C-alpha cells in the first residue's frame, strides 16, 4: 500500500443513500457514488493483510467467510488507492466476470471477513468494486473482445441467471460457440426478474448482455427447454449442455384459506412488478398491485425485504413482515466470532422505508399465519396470526391462545425455495437429490447423463448471486477440460 496506515487515518465512508421520501417515488437505484478522490482514500484503508480473509471464500462452522470468487481484493484496493483504474479492472475481472452485478446485490461477504472489521469498520470493498467497473464502462475498458479463433465446439446453456451467464461468458471467451436458452422474454434469470430495479436496474444487465452478444454468445428467449424444445434435440445439436435453471420452485405454506384471491408467491409479485415496469411503466392492471392495501409479507429474508420495499413504492396502506424466528442480536455474540459470517440483526432498505412511511419497523418476530380469511367473493380480507416459541426440540412451535386477527387484502409468501422445478430434470433424465436439486458427481458438475452438467442454484440450492457465479465459473472449466483435454480458463 502507498500508505500502510490508511486504515488508521481515514474513516469508512459509504456511498450516501437518497432520503426515503425521495427514493420511494421511483424504482431507481438510490445510492450516490463517492467522488473519485474519496473513493481512492477508501481503497487506501485496506491493510493488505498477510492473511486476507476477505478473499478466502472458505466455510467456517458451515457459513462462508470471505469472497466465494476469491477476488484479489487487496490488490485492486491498492490499485484504486493509486487511481490505476484500468489495472484494477484487469485484476478484478481475472476472478469475477460480473462485478457490475456483485457490486450491487452481493451482501459483501468480503467485508464481513475484513480484518479492519474485527475491531472497527471494514473496508468499503463492494463500493470500491462498483467504482472500478463503472469507471471501466466510462473509459471503454469493457468493450467487446470476441475470441480470435473458434474451437468448433458447441455448448447449450439452459437458464440465463448468474450461473448460466458466467458459464457462457467463460466458455465463449475460450472460443467455444455458446447458445443460452431462457424461457422468459428477457435474458437474465434471477437478475432480471427476481431482484427489484432499485437494487439492480435492468439496463445494467442489458449493458453486459449486449457486450456478451457482441462477443458471440447467442441468446434465445421465450424458449422453455423441456417444453418448446426437447432435451434430445439439444443433446444431439450440442457437444455439451449445462443446466442452470435456478431454484425456482417456491416453498408454499399449508393453511386454511390458502386458495384466497390475493395470496401470491413473492417471486410472482416481484416479477410482475419488474415486467410491467419494463413493458409499460407500471400501467394499472398489468401487475399484482399493493396500492391502498394492507399487506402481509411472510418471510424475513432478502426476498421478503424486497417485497416490503416494492409494496412501499406501490403505495400500500400498511405492510407487516412476519418472521418465524426470534430477532437476532444486534452485535456478534461470543460463539460467533470474526471472521465468521455475523449472525446479527440488520435493517435493510425495505424495512427502513416502511418504518419511515408507516411509523414503525414492519417486522414481527416469532409469528406466522395460521389461517387466511376471505370475504363472500373468495378474496383475502385478513389473516389469523399465531405466536411461536422455541420448543424443547429446538423447533418453533405455536403458542396456544395467542391467535389474533389482522386485516390484509394482499399476502406474499417469501418462505424460500425447494430446489429446481422438476420438468427440466425429468426431460434430461438427470438424477436429483433429496432436496430436489440436480445431483452431480462428488466435487464435480457432471450429472449422471453424459455431456450434461449442472451449475448454480439448480445444483446447490437457493443461495447468493456470487455463489451462483462461482458455480458457473467452475462448471465452465470442467466442460472446457472435458471437451479439450485441458483447460486454460
Confirm whether 257 is domain-assigned: no
Specify whether 34 is located in the same domain as 124: yes
Specify whether 126 is located in the same domain as 199: no
179: cell is 447458445
Confirm whether 302 is domain-assigned: yes
- How confident is the model over 187-215, as a mean pLDDT? 97
Q: Is a pLDDT exceeding 80 seen at residue 245?
A: yes
Neighbours of 412 (CB within 10 A): 31
With bands split at pLDDT 50, 70 and 90, how would you rate the model's confidence at 435?
Answer: confident
Confirm whether 114 is domain-assigned: yes
Q: What are the beta bridge partners of residue 318?
A: 294
- How confident is the model over 454-470, as a mean pLDDT? 96
Q: Is a pLDDT exceeding 80 seen at residue 146?
A: yes
Specify whether 398 is located in the same domain as 281: yes
Confirm whether 366 is domain-assigned: yes
Q: Which helix (H) or strand (E) holds 136?
A: helix 125-139
398: cell is 405455536
CATH of the domain at 185: 3.50.50.60
Which residue segment(s) compose the domain that 179 sits in?
A: 154-248+418-484
CA neighbor of 328 nearest in space, from 303, 359, 300:
300
Q: Determine the pLDDT at residue 1.
A: 62
- Given 381, 413, 445, the domain boundary residue is 413
Specify whether 443 is located in the same domain as 320: no
Specify whether 244 is located in the same domain as 268: no
Specify whether 171 is located in the same domain as 244: yes
Specify whether 14 is located in the same domain as 97: yes
- How confident is the model over 165-170, as a mean pLDDT? 98
Confirm whether 456 is domain-assigned: yes
Specify whether 268 is located in the same domain as 381: yes
Q: 67-114 pLDDT, tens per residue?
A: 999 999 999 999 999 999 999 999 999 999 999 999 999 999 999 999
What interhelical angle do 202-214 and 162-174 show, nearest 10? Answer: 20
With bands split at pLDDT 50, 70 and 90, how would you rate the model's confidence at 420?
Answer: confident
178: cell is 455458446
- How many domains does the structure of the chain reveal? 3
Q: Which helix (H) or strand (E) holds 426?
A: helix 422-428
Q: Determine the pLDDT at residue 56.
A: 95
- Given 413, 442, 468, the domain boundary residue is 413
CB 405 within 8 A of CB 374: no
With bands split at pLDDT 50, 70 and 90, how would you rate the model's confidence at 260?
Answer: very high
Alpha helices per DSSP H over 226-293: 231-237, 266-280
Specify whether 231 is located in the same domain as 350: no
Longest dimension (CA), the chain: 71
Specify whether 333 is located in the same domain as 237: no
Q: 379-407 pLDDT, tens per residue?
A: 999 999 999 999 988 899 999 999 999 99
- Given 364, 394, 413, the domain boundary residue is 413
Confirm whether 147 is domain-assigned: no
Specify whether 97 is located in the same domain as 12: yes
Confirm whether 70 is domain-assigned: yes
CA neighbor of 469 nearest in space, from 144, 177, 68, 159:
68
CATH of the domain at 47: 1.10.1060.10
CB 102 within 8 A of CB 96: yes
- How confident is the model over 273-291, as a mean pLDDT? 97
- How confident is the model over 329-334, as a mean pLDDT? 95
CB neighbour list of residue 421: distance below 8 Å, 6 or more residues apart = 245, 248, 249
Confirm whether 295 is domain-assigned: yes
Specify whether 407 is located in the same domain as 450: no
Q: Determine the pLDDT at residue 68.
A: 97
Secondary structure letter of residue 70 according to DSSP: -
Amino acid at each position: 500500500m502507498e500508505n500502510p496506515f490508511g486504515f488508521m487515518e481515514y474513516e469508512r465512508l459509504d456511498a450516501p443513500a437518497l432520503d426515503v421520501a425521495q427514493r420511494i417515488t421511483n424504482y431507481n437505484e438510490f445510492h450516490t457514488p463517492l467522488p473519485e478522490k474519496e473513493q481512492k482514500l477508501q481503497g487506501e484503508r485496506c491493510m493488505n493483510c498477510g492473511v486476507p480473509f476477505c478473499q478466502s471464500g472458505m466455510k467456517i462452522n458451515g457459513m462462508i467467510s470471505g469472497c466465494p470468487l476469491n477476488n484479489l481484493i487487496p490488490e485492486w484496493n491498492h490499485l484504486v488507492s493509486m487511481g490505476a483504474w484500468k489495472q484494477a479492472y484487469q485484476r478484478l475481472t481475472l476472478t469475477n466476470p460480473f462485478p457490475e452485478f456483485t457490486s450491487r446485490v452481493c451482501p459483501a461477504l468480503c467485508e464481513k471477513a475484513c480484518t479492519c472489521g474485527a475491531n472497527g469498520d471494514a473496508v468499503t470493498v463492494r463500493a470500491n468494486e462498483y467504482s472500478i467497473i463503472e469507471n471501466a464502462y466510462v473509459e471503454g475498458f469493457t468493450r467487446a473482445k470476441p475470441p480470435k479463433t473458434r474451437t468448433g465446439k458447441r455448448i447449450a446453456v439452459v437458464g440465463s441467471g448468474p450461473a448460466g451467464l458466467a458459464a457462457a461468458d467463460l466458455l465463449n471467451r475460450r472460443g467455444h460457440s455458446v447458445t443460452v436458452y431462457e424461457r422468459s422474454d428477457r435474458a437474465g434469470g434471477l437478475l432480471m426478474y427476481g431482484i427489484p430495479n432499485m437494487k439492480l436496474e435492468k439496463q445494467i444487465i442489458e449493458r453486459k448482455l449486449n457486450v456478451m452478444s457482441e462477443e458471440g454468445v447467442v441468446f434465445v428467449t421465450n424458449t422453455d427447454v423441456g417444453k418448446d424444445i426437447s432435451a434430445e434435440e439439444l443433446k444431439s445439436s450440442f457437444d455439451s449442455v449445462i443446466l442452470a435453471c435456478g431454484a425456482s420452485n417456491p416453498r408454499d405454506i399449508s393453511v386454511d384459506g390458502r386458495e384466497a384471491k390475493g395470496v401470491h408467491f413473492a417471486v410472482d409479485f416481484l416479477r410482475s412488478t419488474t415486467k410491467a415496469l419494463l413493458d409499460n411503466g407500471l400501467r394499472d392492471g398489468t401487475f399484482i398491485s399493493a396500492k391502498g392495501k394492507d399487506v402481509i409479507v411472510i418471510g424475513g429474508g432478502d426476498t421478503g425485504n424486497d417485497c416490503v420495499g416494492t409494496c412501499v413504492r406501490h403505495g400500500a396502506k400498511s405492510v407487516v413482515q412476519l418472521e418465524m424466528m426470534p430477532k437476532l442480536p444486534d452485535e456478534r455474540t461470543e460463539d460467533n466470532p470474526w471472521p465468521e459470517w455475523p449472525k446479527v440483526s440488520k435493517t435493510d432498505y425495505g424495512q427502513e422505508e416502511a418504518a419511515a412511511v408507516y411509523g414503525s419497523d414492519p417486522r414481527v418476530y416469532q409469528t406466522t399465519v395460521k389461517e387466511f380469511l376471505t370475504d363472500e367473493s373468495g378474496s383475502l380480507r385478513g389473516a389469523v396470526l399465531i405466536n411461536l416459541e422455541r420448543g424443547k426440540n429446538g423447533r418453533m412451535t405455536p403458542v396456544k391462545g395467542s391467535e389474533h386477527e389482522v386485516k390484509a387484502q394482499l399476502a406474499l409468501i417469501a418462505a424460500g425455495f425447494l430446489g429446481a422445478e422438476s420438468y427440466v430434470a425429468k426431460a434430461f433424465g438427470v438424477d436429483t437429490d433429496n432436496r430436489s436439486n440436480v445431483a452431480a458427481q462428488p466435487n464435480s458438475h457432471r450429472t449422471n447423463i453424459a455431456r450434461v452438467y449442472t451449475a448454480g442454484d439448480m445444483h446447490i440450492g437457493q443461495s447468493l448471486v456470487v455463489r451462483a457465479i462461482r458455480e458457473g465459473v467452475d462448471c465452465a472449466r470442467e466442460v472446457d477440460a472435458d471437451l479439450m483435454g485441458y483447460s486454460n480458463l
